[in-house]
Amino acid sequence: MLELAILGVLKEQPMHGYELRHYLSFIVGHIWQLSYGTLYPALRRLEKRGDLTKQTIRDGKGPAKHVYGLTPQGEKTFSAQMAAISSPTEISDPHKFTLRLIFFRYLDSEQRQEMLAKRLEFLHEQRESLSEMEAIPSQGLDRFRRALIHYHAKLNAEEIAFVEGLTAAEPPLVTPVERTHS
């Protein structure tokens, strides 16, 4: 997840380490706490693989700054990681899905629609499970568990509406048959 986040941010513009950490904390701070001890080893791995460049800048106002940028190979790695759904958790884990959603504009419409459809399918399955739990007789659950189930059911309904809205905003897919008749 961290590598995808780094590549996505650097796709937008080159940044030095402090700036990158600050920006990543802003966009993914709700997912995990990012320390320099986590960031810099990831940057070194990506640089060693050829996904990033590092340029040292000395402006005379303090220590040298290392500015990281995306290479053409890094662009390909980012695109591949964005499009790849290597496990069901890429869709079901809210943090992994949210990270992809942050950079959704870099996917084509068909890829976005496919991921949104998979997330919706997962959310509807989750809704069924929550409905089953809500149907448990009141003596079977204490008030705290019942309140928690109700809370998650509301969150689920809100996310379903959110994902349906994103899906509705996508342009309709053109099938091969429609292309030949156009």
Show the tokens assigned to 22: 């600050």
* Residue 31 pLDDT greater than 80, yes or no: no
Q: Check residue 46 and give its pLDDT.
A: 96
Q: How confident is the model at residue 17 (pLDDT cuts 50, 70, 90)?
A: confident
Higher pLDDT: 67 or 28? It is 67
Say if residue 107 is exposed, middle or buried (CB neighbours under 10 Å; 0-12, 13-18, 19+).
middle
**Of 108, 126, 14, nearest in space to 70 by CA:** 14
pTM above 0.95, yes or no: no
What distances in angstroms separate CA 108 from CA 19, 97, 171, one per listed residue?
29, 16, 11
Question: pLDDT band for position 136 (50/70/90)?
Answer: confident
- Bridge partners of 65, per DSSP, are 57
**Which range (1-10, 20-29, 90-99, 103-112) has the least confidence?**
20-29
Would you say residue 34 has pLDDT above 80? no
Tell whether the model's pLDDT for residue 84 goes beyond 60.
yes
Phi, psi of 34 (to 5 degrees): -105, 120
Is pLDDT of 111 > 60? yes
Contact 112, 84 (CB under 8 A): no
pLDDT, position 8:
95
Q: Tell me what pLDDT residue 125 has.
A: 95
DSSP structure class, residue 69:
E
